[in-house]
């Protein structure tokens, strides 16, 4: 096992229960397996190292959503090609879509990670599998049991107290099995939530509450609300895209202050333990990409005939047709997080989530291929185009997040054998 130059900090569960003693494993010394508990503790330590490293080395790990084999191939291949760490994430929607649920993704992930790391020669465990937005304990438990490296328990829609209770239950279960837990505090309010710009801040994560939340739950990372939101339209027309980096810095610092390992230390101390913050809703939703989507707009034949009839004969209800057409035209609308501001979160955010950009690209490429080859009925043709588009987006994110080339230092044994 190769050991890396992490500072000699230790990780421990600070949500002690009466029955369980906190596990304390120094990072940077050989954590060879000595017992059943040791295996799990070592696994959690490695995932924590993986999530802390970007904060020290100033890059951000892209966390990219997958839904099927092609999207998994696309993002995993991009990671090995660019030698970037990667978090492959699966949402509740993706689990429902796959007939074998989370087990489908574990099997697919293991195979692809193993095969593609051999093909490109990368460090296999720099690519990890994560549950995105696990809505309750049961979903998290199922993914922990299935072999995920990390799970997100998202109880942010509940009250603070309920969020704490649900998160703590997931943390207790996952930690005993060596699985890392991301939680969420605050609401990611977007334009679509009809929350007025002025009141958007009200849904932002409070730094002191965040510290209390981490103290009470023992979660390993925290998703916060600092201005981003899910989907293609994150900001109103008259709103300037922004990330509240001051708040982000304060959240991180307040959390770090309560960590047991940091007691009696200063943030400037070499052994100060950094806490991984996660940024959701970080797609850039580029205008060009959304224009591309619109260029190959597929309007149902029924509607195009209505338009033609109206144009040629002047018959039909023009207003009604315009109303029906509107959703198609609105596809072109997007306002995301400009990639030029990604660098403002370096050293603050360990993991940055992107789904919308991948969805838009796969759809644009498939539409384009279909439009250009109207007689083709071979799904591999358009799926291939969709896959290469997703791979392009993934590799591009790895460049702009400065994670490309950063996977080489993580050469530990695989936690899950490929
Ligand atoms: O944050 C959510 C992701 O974009 C996943 O979306 O629930 O439609 O799969 P989904
Ligand atoms: P986007 O909608 O900005 O891609 O966010 C994805 C996300 O946060 C997944 O959890
Ligand atoms: Zn999200």
Q: Which atom of ligand 2 is the closest one to the Cα of 65?
A: 9
The ligand whose atoms approach the alpha carbon of 131 most closely is 2
List of residues 6+ apart from 22 with CB closer than 8 A = 12, 13, 14, 16
Protein residue whose Cα sits closest to atom 5 of ligand 1: 91
Indicate if 237 belongs to the active site.
no
Name the CATH superfamily housing domain 10-285+339-356+394-400.
Aldolase class I (3.20.20.70)
User: Which ligand ends up closest to the CA of 184?
Assistant: 3
Query: From CA 131, how far away is CA 113, in angstroms rounded?
Result: 17
Structure tokens at 182: 């991301």
Residue 3 alpha carbon to ligand 3 centre in Å: 33
Cβ atoms of 311 and 366 within 8 Å: the answer is no
Catalytic residue, candidates 32, 96, 125, 132: 132
Checking DSSP bridges between strand 221-224 and strand 180-185, what pairing results, if any? Answer: parallel
- Identify which ligand lies nearest to the alpha carbon of 132: 2
Q: Which atom of ligand 1 is nearest to the CA of 231?
A: 4
As for ligand 2, residues whose beta carbon falls within 6 Å of it are: 65, 132-133, 230-231, 280-283, 353-356
* Rounded CA separation 271/236 (Å): 43
Per-residue pLDDT of the chain (418 residues; tens, 9 = 90+): 333 333 333 444 344 333 444 444 333 333 333 445 688 889 999 999 999 999 999 999 999 999 999 999 999 999 999 999 999 999 999 999 999 999 999 999 999 999 999 999 889 999 999 999 999 999 999 999 999 999 999 999 999 999 999 999 999 999 999 999 999 999 887 665 554 445 666 689 999 999 999 999 999 999 999 999 999 999 988 889 999 999 999 999 999 999 999 999 999 999 999 999 999 999 999 999 998 888 887 788 888 998 999 899 988 888 898 888 887 776 668 999 999 999 999 999 999 999 999 999 999 999 999 999 989 999 999 999 999 999 999 999 999 999 999 997 544 444 334 3
3-state secondary structure of 182: strand
Could you tell which of 281, 335, 357, 396 is best to mutate to test the pocket of ligand 2, judged by most ligand atoms within 8 Å of the CB? Answer: 281
CA–CA separation, 19 and 260 (whole Å): 19
Give residue for tokens 């942010």: 156
Closest listed residue to residue 41, CA positions, set 18, 20, 63, 61: 20
């Amino acid at each position: 096992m190769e050991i890396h130059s992490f500072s000699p900090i230790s990780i421990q569960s600070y949500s002690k229960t009466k029955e369980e003693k906190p596990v304390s494993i120094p990072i940077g010394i050989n954590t060879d397996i000595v017992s059943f508990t040791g295996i799990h503790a070592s696994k959690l330590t490695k995932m924590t190292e993986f999530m802390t490293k970007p904060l020290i080395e100033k890059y951000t790990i892209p966390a990219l959503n997958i839904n099927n084999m092609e999207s998994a191939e696309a993002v995993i291949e991009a990671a090995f090609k660019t030698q970037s760490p990667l978090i492959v994430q699966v949402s509740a929607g993706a689990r429902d879509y796959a007939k074998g649920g989370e087990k489908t993704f574990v099997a697919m992930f293991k195979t692809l990670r193993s095969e593609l790391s051999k093909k490109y020669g990368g460090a296999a465990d720099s690519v990890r599998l994560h549950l995105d937005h696990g809505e309750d304990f049961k979903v998290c438990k199922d993914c922990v049991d299935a072999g995920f490296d990390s799970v997100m328990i998202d109880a942010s829609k509940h009250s603070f107290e309920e969020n704490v209770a649900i998160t703590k239950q997931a943390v207790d279960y996952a930690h005993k099995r060596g699985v890392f837990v991301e939680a969420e505090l605050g609401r990611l309010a977007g334009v679509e939530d009809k929350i007025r710009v002025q009141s958007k801040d009200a849904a932002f994560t409070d730094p002191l509450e965040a510290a209390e939340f981490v103290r009470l739950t023992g979660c390993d990372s925290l998703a916060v609300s600092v201005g981003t939101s899910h989907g293609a339209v994150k900001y109103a027309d008259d709103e300037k895209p922004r990330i509240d980096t001051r708040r982000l810095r304060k959240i991180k610092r307040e959390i770090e202050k309560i960590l047991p390992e940091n007691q009696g230390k200063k943030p400037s101390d070499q052994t100060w333990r950094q806490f991984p913050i996660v940024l959701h809703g970080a797609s850039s939703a580029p205008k060009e990409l959304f224009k591309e989507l619109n260029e190959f707009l597929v309007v149902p034949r029924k509607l195009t005939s209505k338009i033609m009839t109206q144009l040629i004969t002047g018959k039909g209800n023009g207003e009604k047709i315009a109303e029906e057409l509107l959703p198609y035209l609105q596809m072109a609308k997007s306002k995301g997080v400009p990639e030029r501001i990604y660098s403002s979160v370096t050293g603050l955010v360990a993991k940055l989530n992107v789904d919308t950009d991948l969805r838009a690209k796969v759809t644009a490429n498939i539409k384009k291929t279909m439009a250009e080859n109207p007689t083709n009925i071979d799904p591999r043709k358009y799926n291939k185009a969709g896959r290469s588009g997703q791979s392009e987006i993934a590799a591009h994110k790895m460049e702009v997040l400065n994670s490309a080339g950063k996977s080489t230092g993580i050469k530990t044994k695989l936690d899950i054998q490929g």
